[in-house]
Structure 1
Amino acid sequence: MNSRAPDVNDVDVDLGRLLASVRRDWRRILLVSLVVAAAVFVLLLLVTPLYRAETRVLIETRESVYTRPQAAGTNSDSAILDEEGVASQVEVITSSEVLTRVARELNLASREEFKATDSLLERTLITVGLKSPSSIPPEERVLRAFREKLNVYRVEDSRVIVIQFSSEDPELAAQVVNAVADAYVANQREAKLQSNVDATEWLEPEIADLSERVREAEARVAEFRAQSDLLIGRNNTVLATQQLAELSSELSRVRVSRSAAEAKAESVRAAIESGVPPETLPDVLASGLIQRLRERQVELQAEIAELSTTLLDNHPRIRALRSQLSDLDTQIRAESEKVLAGLETEAGTARRREEELAAEVERLKAESARAEEQQVELRALERQAAAQRELLESYLTRYREAAARRDRNYLPVDARIFSRAIVPSESYFPKVGPLTLAAFAATLLLMLIFTLLKELFSGRALRPAEGALEAESTDMPVLAPAVAEEETETVEREAAPAATPPPTASTAEPKQGTGAEASRPYRSRSLGEIDIEMAAEALISKGIARAIFVSPEGDEAAATAVLVAREVADAGLRVLLIDLTASGAASRPMLESTAYAGITNLLAVRAQFADVIHADLYSSCHIIPVGTADPEHAMRGFDRLPIILNSLTIAYDVVVVECGAADAAAVKCLMGDDAQVLVSVLDPQENRVTATAAALADGGLGKPLLVTPAGYVPPSAPPGRDAA
């Protein structure tokens, strides 16, 4: 395809034509919408109204701090009140047990709306033997219908369960939801009662067996304590261990005493051996005799000192006192040695006591170790007995609580009906007004969509893309002076009447004009032929969809079809020119080259529509050239040509077919609805023109329009191309 020619798919939607189709069919659209709305209104009036009632149940623990069992903790409450627990209660409400109880209580099987019968189709299939009769029990049928009308759900982010039921009877709707809520509460109470009864029945034999096991465990503890001779002292301690502790304390005290006695004896001995006066030692001074001797020694020294003031040293009196003083020193020393001997004796005694206590401690250690081993086994027996005892006490507590709840019939359910249903006064279905308006709006919308799609698929609402045309026009070479003159003449010329009949021989006289139009040469119209502009106006005013041109004078006359196609395209219509000439004379002035795929390729099934439709270089007209396929091979598919023309007639406003010098039989194959045959005339005196016009009329194709390019000069061809 030419790079300058836009693709056939480069089209825009003409919104004006779309809206025009809606304006054209608005009565039909409105009528259909009103009919459908009226039908829906009547059907809704005939539908049996449905009423919906609603009951709300709150899932909460009903136990108080005063009635809650001692064995129950907080985990049991949180388990029933969490999200999964509440969702489980929804399933319990819709269980077959609860629904069956309600159905029997209200005798729902006797009501018509719960008698789930087979449909008309099912009964027909059963009658002809294509389906076996249903074997569903009546109770299951009632439950199926019950579940279809029942709706139970949990309110989001809460512990509230909503029970809804719809029915034809408003009183029945309220009765059913209240009955379902009551049945659910009763079911929960019975479940708790049964659980309580099962617990007491299980606890009775367990308590009896556990009591026997506790008695046996305590007997084993007492027997082991007697056999092991484990005597218990203060603070629940084994006697051997207590004695060991006491002896250990005594041994420590004796060791301290022995160390002190040895230290005192050693200090006294060292003082005596070193010549230190023993009476200066604290332990020696502590002796009563030493103290009296020291007092006597002090008295003698005082008396000697007193007599020395009056007597000489050799005086017998002084000498006698000094002799006594020397005896006192001897006695003090002797007494000091006795004190030393006493300290040594005391240290020896403490040492022997220490040895005895150490031996006794060692003996008690061995005895205490043996007692500890026995104590470990005894404690194991006591723990077992204590565990059995605690378990027995807990069982007894639970049994007493369960028995008290059963006797007092106090089994609170973890649910409360806080909003009971009342008889609804208005039906929720059908809503006649909203549904009728919705049906009217939906039908109106669908009709609008159908009308727009119909107009769109017919191709009447499509037009060539302006961008493609503008791009083409920017690459278009400068028109020849004749083409410019033609456009100027078209602008200056007054518009013709909307429906101009084909001119007759008397009316088709040469125009008298002034200026450029008067100076232009023209041919006489002796056969009643019309010019290019009149031919285009005739095609537009009559609504001709297919214009078939015959050129008996050869390829030069094919330019007439090109000029008419361009004239119609300039009027704003979508125009397609099909070149069926053998030489391609009609497509040469419209394209840059003849090497484009065309009608022969389409007939030979070697191309598609998008490949063979090209854009005219000088107008918004589209062109299908002769093509590049083998003509003999293409003629084998000639029977497809009418189908192709019909398809193109749907997509375009006007399809112009240039047949060249074709006969009436060939032209007849191209005819269709709203088709017009036109004959291109260059020389009115040409015998071939009159003969062709007569042959077409005799062939049943009607009187053709004779078109001459009088007053037009063919446009200059681009460099390297022949003019049409």
Structure 2
Amino acid sequence: MSVQSAAADVDVDLRQLFASLARNWLRILVVALVVTGLAFALAWLATPHYKAETQIKIETGESVYTRPNGANDNDKPILDEEGVATEVQIVSSSDILNQVALKLNLARLPEFDEAANMSALSKFLVIAGLKSDPEEIPAEERVLKKMREKLNVYSVEKTRIIAIEFSSEDPKLAAAIPNAIAEAYIASQGSAKIKSNSAATAFLGPEIADLQQKVKDAEAKVATYRAQSDLLMGGNNSVLATQQLSELSSELSRVRANRAAAEATAGSVRNALQGGGSLDAVPEVLSSELIQRLRERQVELKANIADLSTTLLDNHPRIRALKSQLADLDRQIRNEAEKIMKGLMTQAQTAQARENQLVADVNTLKAASARAGEEQVELDALQRDATARRQQLESYQANYLAAASRSDRNYLPVDARVVSEAQVPSEPYFPKILPIVGAAFGGSLLLMAIVTLLKELFSGRAMRPAAGARFEQIEQVAMPVVTQQEPAIVRQEPVVVRQEPMAAEIPRADEIDEAWDYDAEAEAEPDKVSAAEAAAEYEAAEPPRVTLGEVDIDKAAEKLISTGAARAIFVSPEGDEAAASAVLVAREVSDAGLRVLLLDLTASGAASRPMLDSGLFPGITNLLASEAQFSDVIHPDLYSDCHVIPVGTADPVRAMRAADRLPIIMQSLTTAYDLVVVECGPADAQGISRLVGEGTEVFLSMLEPDDEVTQAAVSLIESGYPDLTLVTPVGHVTPGTPVPGRRSAA
């Protein structure tokens, strides 16, 4: 059976596992108290350390009243996480720490300079070369290294606050150093601003003088070019030629409109006169005062003619006179209309002449405006250059004046301020005696509990057979029955064993199988043979006989070696005297070079006593009772390389309660040893069933072939052990001199 299969057939007995804590509570408590006492002593003797903290807020220090014109709160630089992290590095920089170290003269303190007050032991170690000489490192570097070990600078999460934390053996120094670091940081920020302001004024002074000359030259170029190009400026900041062109274009449009209107009106009057049509539809004709009076007279005459026509005929002199006057009025109206038409024609001709003149003037101005546009482009470029230089000059002058005034008044606000100064701590942060002692006690208890549980688990005492697991005898390939034809492992004369005092010889294995088959057939056919008849026949029949070979100690050892058996189960019906066979066989196999262990399961310890010194030793009962581990119960044989597990000193009743663990123990032992020899004493087949496994040989120890041995052999054969071998220790001498070096288990 492999280790994997054995592991699958066992479970962890949690009750047994945690019961080990109750059994070992005193040891666990003692270890915990010892560890707690050591922790208390170390904490009490440790040098106390004090810690203090200073906080710096990163913000713009510029006042609203001194901020430059046009600047507001939105112009303030906002530091992101990277910016705050950069300031953290600046706070913990070597320059600032060196300034603080010099200011507080930290090099004189042994806490910061190991070489300041070296002990005699340290000097001896340096001289012996077991420790590096601290004086080989510059004092400034030594102090800086110690300061960095005690300093912790970090940014508070989701804020622009930088915390400076420092620990020291001196509470006053623990508060003074972070405050000094904050002051040095703010001073360095102010110094940086002073340097920046001085550099700005040094740059702006010469630059302003140079810009003033450049602005003067640029504006002179603008004036000179404007004079040379005759670019006179009109209204709306435009060139005069362009402005005149615009005005003439407007005038030309107006003249053209008047000419077109006069020509259209003259054409309508002409059409009316030539076609004999009515002139009433022409607005210009109707607007004439003369024509209006003639129209009124014409209406009056038509009214008189109509009145007279009611009483007079058409040829009446009065009517004819009135009609003659009416015709004369029509001629006058037409003559007046012709005059109006001629006047309109004259007006159109005048407008045409004016239009022609304006067109010529516009064309002339277009050429002049095109030339002025090209020259205006160059002029605009010169003006832009002059304007840019002037704006730059004005900006530089404003900044220069602001920087100069700040330098004169020494007003350079720093973008940081201390929001919380470090106070002298009243209590040390290390060591905290109560938490340390509590943690040591709880941790040691937990650790010892874990160690105890693991020890119990790995010892196998916390294992139990799994539900449904089988550790009974595994079916083996039957070995041939030892007969007289095998002289290598039998004696010349066979021993005849009988079930009853006057019975025949013990039957052979094949005869027992035939008897079992016969019983099975009888049970399968109850109608043919009744149970009573079968019992009567069985009682009347002569007991079967079998001849078992009797082997000595050497042959039994040879058989175990040749077959590669892993377990050898010895049953001794005759008691303690026959138990010597198992001891002798174990020693013989061990002398052959195999790793052998003898497990003594006799009540009196008859098998293990000859192998051990006088006295009581922990054994299998201690292992079953969870009072010992494998390493505690395995002892060396005084006379060979064999190992032995004695009966032990534990309560047998308590040990038998854990008898279910025997298969697990046997499996562990067969994994560690080449052969495990078990002396069971006068046990039966049921008693050895827990011990049988793969590769098991069963032996019957015999001193004399009496009835007791015969009954035990028959019982084992009938219970499923047909390959039983008889062993006798006759003629074998037990060694009596201990082998040197065999005092402890390997």
| AA partner of residue 91 (structure 1) | Q
Q: Distance in 1 between matches of 2:308 and 2:13?
A: 166
Q: CA 1:298/1:582 → structure 2, altered by over 3 Å: closer, same or farther?
A: closer
Gaps of 5+ in 2: 477-498, 503-546, 571-587, 600-607, 609-616, 624-636, 648-678, 682-698, 726-746
The alpha carbon displacement at 1:260 in A equals 1.1
Corresponding residue for residue 245 of structure 1: 246
Kindly indicate whether the alpha-carbon contact (under 8 Å) linking 2:54 and 2:420 is maintained by their aligned counterparts in 1.
yes
Kindly indicate whether the alpha-carbon contact (under 8 Å) linking 1:521 and 1:711 is maintained by their aligned counterparts in 2.
no
Show CA shifts across 1:113-168 (max 9, x none): 11134997897366449968764211111111111111111111222221111111
The alpha carbon displacement at 1:254 in A equals 1.3
The alpha carbon displacement at 1:10 in A equals 3.8
Q: Distance in 2 between matches of 1:601 and 1:349?
A: 147
Kindly indicate whether the alpha-carbon contact (under 8 Å) linking 1:6 and 1:614 is maintained by their aligned counterparts in 2.
no
User: Does the residue aligned with 1:430 lie in a helix, a strand or coil?
Assistant: coil
Q: CA 1:380/1:682 → structure 2, altered by over 3 Å: closer, same or farther?
A: same
The alpha carbon displacement at 1:65 in A equals 2.9
User: Does the residue aligned with 1:424 lie in a helix, a strand or coil?
Assistant: coil
- TM score, norm. by length of structure 2: 0.64
Q: CA 1:471/1:276 → structure 2, altered by over 3 Å: closer, same or farther?
A: same
What are the residue-to-residue correspondences of 1:276-291 with 2, within 5 Å?
A: 276=277, 278=279, 281-291=282-292
Corresponding residue for residue 70 of structure 1: 69
Q: Distance in 2 between matches of 1:35 and 1:250?
A: 119
| AA partner of residue 107 (structure 1) | N
Corresponding residue for residue 698 of structure 1: none
Identity among equivalent positions (%) equals: 50
Gaps of 5+ in 1: 478-519, 524-553, 562-578, 585-597, 603-611, 617-634, 656-665, 687-706
Q: Distance in 1 between matches of 2:717 and 2:231?
A: 140
Q: Distance in 2 between matches of 1:2 and 1:98?
A: 71
| AA partner of residue 202 (structure 1) | F
Show CA shifts across 1:491-528 (max 9, x none): xxxxxxxxxxxxxxxxxxxxxxxxxxxxx9799xxxxx
Corresponding residue for residue 538 of structure 2: none
Report the RMSD for the aligned CA atoms in angstroms. Answer: 4.6
Kindly indicate whether the alpha-carbon contact (under 8 Å) linking 2:174 and 2:424 is maintained by their aligned counterparts in 1.
yes
Is the counterpart of residue 466 in structure 1 residue 475 in structure 2? no
Bigger Cα displacement from structure 2, 364-373 vs 45-54: 364-373
2:96 equivalent among 92, 95, 98? 98
User: Does the residue aligned with 1:398 lie in a helix, a strand or coil?
Assistant: helix
2:640 equivalent among 644, 651, 669? 669
Kindly indicate whether the alpha-carbon contact (under 8 Å) linking 2:598 and 2:644 is maintained by their aligned counterparts in 1.
no
How many residues align? The count is 560
Kindly indicate whether the alpha-carbon contact (under 8 Å) linking 2:702 and 2:709 is maintained by their aligned counterparts in 1.
yes
User: Does the residue aligned with 1:425 lie in a helix, a strand or coil?
Assistant: coil
- TM score, norm. by length of structure 1: 0.66
| AA partner of residue 467 (structure 2) | G
Is the counterpart of residue 345 in structure 1 residue 346 in structure 2? yes
The alpha carbon displacement at 1:653 in A equals 3.3
Q: CA 1:345/1:11 → structure 2, altered by over 3 Å: closer, same or farther?
A: same
What are the residue-to-residue correspondences of 1:128-277 with 2, within 5 Å?
A: 128=129, 135-276=136-277
Q: Distance in 2 between matches of 1:556 and 1:20?
A: 50
What are the residue-to-residue correspondences of 1:22-33 with 2, within 5 Å?
A: 22-23=21-22, 25-33=24-32
Corresponding residue for residue 594 of structure 2: 641
Q: Distance in 1 between matches of 2:168 and 2:16?
A: 52
Q: CA 1:115/1:133 → structure 2, altered by over 3 Å: closer, same or farther?
A: closer
| AA partner of residue 446 (structure 1) | L
Is the counterpart of residue 109 in structure 1 residue 107 in structure 2? yes
Q: CA 1:358/1:156 → structure 2, altered by over 3 Å: closer, same or farther?
A: same
Q: Distance in 2 between matches of 1:404 and 1:360?
A: 62
What are the residue-to-residue correspondences of 1:702-717 with 2, within 5 Å?
A: 714-717=715-718
User: Does the residue aligned with 2:594 lie in a helix, a strand or coil?
Assistant: helix
Corresponding residue for residue 39 of structure 2: 40
Bigger Cα displacement from structure 2, 289-298 vs 353-362: 289-298
| AA partner of residue 594 (structure 2) | L
What are the residue-to-residue correspondences of 1:693-704 with 2, within 5 Å?
A: none
Kindly indicate whether the alpha-carbon contact (under 8 Å) linking 2:590 and 2:641 is maintained by their aligned counterparts in 1.
no
| AA partner of residue 46 (structure 1) | L
Q: CA 1:110/1:296 → structure 2, altered by over 3 Å: closer, same or farther?
A: same
The alpha carbon displacement at 1:378 in A equals 1.8
Q: Distance in 1 between matches of 2:562 and 2:218?
A: 113
Q: Distance in 1 between matches of 2:11 and 2:501?
A: 40
Corresponding residue for residue 704 of structure 2: 684
User: Does the residue aligned with 1:56 lie in a helix, a strand or coil?
Assistant: strand
Q: CA 1:278/1:710 → structure 2, altered by over 3 Å: closer, same or farther?
A: closer
The alpha carbon displacement at 1:190 in A equals 1.7
Kindly indicate whether the alpha-carbon contact (under 8 Å) linking 1:642 and 1:669 is maintained by their aligned counterparts in 2.
no
Q: Distance in 1 between matches of 2:326 and 2:347?
A: 31
Bigger Cα displacement from structure 2, 54-63 vs 165-174: 54-63
Show CA shifts across 1:598-636 (max 9, x none): 88658xxxxxxxxx57999xxxxxxxxxxxxxxxxxx99
Show CA shifts across 1:262-320 (max 9, x none): 11111111111112355774423433444455566667777888899999988888877
Q: CA 1:109/1:349 → structure 2, altered by over 3 Å: closer, same or farther?
A: same
Q: Distance in 2 between matches of 1:250 and 1:376?
A: 28
User: Does the residue aligned with 2:389 lie in a helix, a strand or coil?
Assistant: helix
The alpha carbon displacement at 1:261 in A equals 0.7
Show CA shifts across 1:374-415 (max 9, x none): 222222222222222212212222222222222222222222
Show CA shifts across 1:17-46 (max 9, x none): 655655555444433333333233222222
Q: Distance in 1 between matches of 2:2 and 2:98?
A: 81
Q: CA 1:314/1:521 → structure 2, altered by over 3 Å: closer, same or farther?
A: closer
Q: CA 1:21/1:464 → structure 2, altered by over 3 Å: closer, same or farther?
A: closer
User: Does the residue aligned with 1:380 lie in a helix, a strand or coil?
Assistant: helix
User: Does the residue aligned with 1:467 lie in a helix, a strand or coil?
Assistant: coil
Kindly indicate whether the alpha-carbon contact (under 8 Å) linking 1:115 and 1:142 is maintained by their aligned counterparts in 2.
yes
Bigger Cα displacement from structure 2, 443-452 vs 233-242: 443-452
Q: Distance in 1 between matches of 2:501 and 2:29?
A: 56
